Amino acid sequence: MKKTPKKKLGFKGFLKKCSEQKMLLLMSLPFLIWLFIFRYIPLYGWGMAFQDFKPARSFAEQEWVGFEHFTFLFTDPRFFEVMRNTLAMSMINLVLGFVTAIGLAILLNELRNLTFKRVVQTISYMPHFLSWVVAAGIVTYALSTENGIVNILLEQFGFIDEPIMWLGVGEYFWGIIGTSDVWKNVGWNSIIYLAAIAMIDTEQYEAAEIDGASRLQRIWYITLPGMRPVIVILLIMNMGYILESGFEAQYLLMNSMNMDFAENLDIFVLRYGISMGNFSLATAAGIFKTVVSIIFLFSANHIAKRLGQARLF
């Protein structure tokens, strides 16, 4: 059977559609204004990346140096180490964040005791509202060699013989960041998946139960497929933030012993760009991060389109 070709909307049809949805357009107007003022107007400053920028001079008086700052970035060995840390922590946060949030949402959906369900939701949401200053203090104390709960439990269960200085070993840092991010955000991240589960037709569960499907089978064949469009869309959006591995957590938990594994792109920009007054280098690193993010976003969206999945555009 041949598919009927879709009619083109046309200019009049477009105006009619806008008239029908004028309230939605008005509601989105403040966001568009905010986007234009804080996201697009500052792009004028990208010119600093191609200058030897001095704050005391006007924009027209700046000395143009071309791609000198980009060349420095891509030839500096420290930059590649920072990129390794950034990508590693981003991927760990991405995988752990998705798996734990989806798992928690499914477990909460399966709970039948509403009181217990609300208690679990409240407890899991609470860390999200803590600032990273407080959260980092809690993590540091929990990992302390003196009365730290992690070392105490591991010693009690016989996994270690003596306390481990967790924040003093660089190789442990990525895991600490991933675990801390899950603890802080898993409850909040699960909200959207709970909303996606709520949109699944309950008749599917009833029919599967009549047919003798177990609870695990209902989750595998109904819940997860019903969540798939939301999972794919969020995955595509998160690919656009692949170089955003965080700043506060790394900066607050970093020390001289784990710096080689803790320093990411944002901290690199702060230490070697902004703190030293080299705003041109900081801008060049920001442009690089934006370009890479756009490439990842469009690539993920294209792959989803080729696979017949939900996509952003």
Q: What is the pLDDT of residue 11?
A: 72
Q: Which residues on adjacent β-strands are paired with residue 52?
A: 63
Q: What is the pLDDT of residue 9?
A: 63
Domains (range + CATH), the chain: 92-262 (1.10.3720.10)
Token pair recorded at residue 183: 């603890």
The stretches in the chain having pLDDT less than 50 are 1
Question: Pairing between strand 63-64 and 51-52?
Answer: antiparallel
Token pair recorded at residue 138: 């809690």
Q: How many CB atoms lie within 10 A of CB 72?
A: 15
* Helix 68-75, helix 279-306: angle, nearest 10: 70
Q: What is the distance between the alpha carbons of residues 71 and 272, in angstroms, rounded to a whole number? A: 15
Q: What is the distance between the alpha carbons of residues 263 and 253, in angstroms, rounded to a whole number? A: 10
Q: What is the pLDDT of residue 21?
A: 85
pTM: 0.86
Q: What is the distance between the alpha carbons of residues 36 and 27, in angstroms, rounded to a whole number? A: 16
Q: What is the distance between the alpha carbons of residues 116 and 274, in angstroms, rounded to a whole number? A: 49
* Residue-wise DSSP of the chain: -PPPPPPP-HHHHHHHHHHHTHHHHHHHHHHHHHHIIIIIGGGGGGGGGGEE--TTS-GGGSEE-TTHHHHHHHH-HHHHHHHHHHHHHHHHHHHHHHHHHHHHHHHHHH---HHHHHHHHHHHHGGGGS-HHHHHHHHHHHT-TTT-HHHHHHHHTTS-SS---GGG-GGGHHHHHHHHHHHHHHHHHHHHHHHHHHTS-HHHHHHHHHTT--HHHHIIIIIHHHHHHHHHHHHHHHHTTTT---SHHHHHH--TTTHHHH--HHHHHIIIIITTT-HHHHHHHHHHHHHHHHHHHHHHHHHHHHTT-----
Q: What is the pLDDT of residue 1?
A: 45
**pLDDT tens figures, 168-217:** 999 999 999 999 999 999 999 999 999 999 999 889 998 998 988 899 99
Q: Which residue has the tokens 């008749």?
A: 203
What's the angle, vertex CA 233, arms to CA 230 and CA 238, rounded to 5? Answer: 120
Residue type, 158: G
Q: What is the pLDDT of residue 57?
A: 80
Q: Closest by alpha carbon to 236, among 300, 289, 294?
A: 300
**pLDDT tens figures, 15-49:** 888 888 888 889 989 999 999 998 888 888 888 89
Q: Which residue has the tokens 């607050």?
A: 252
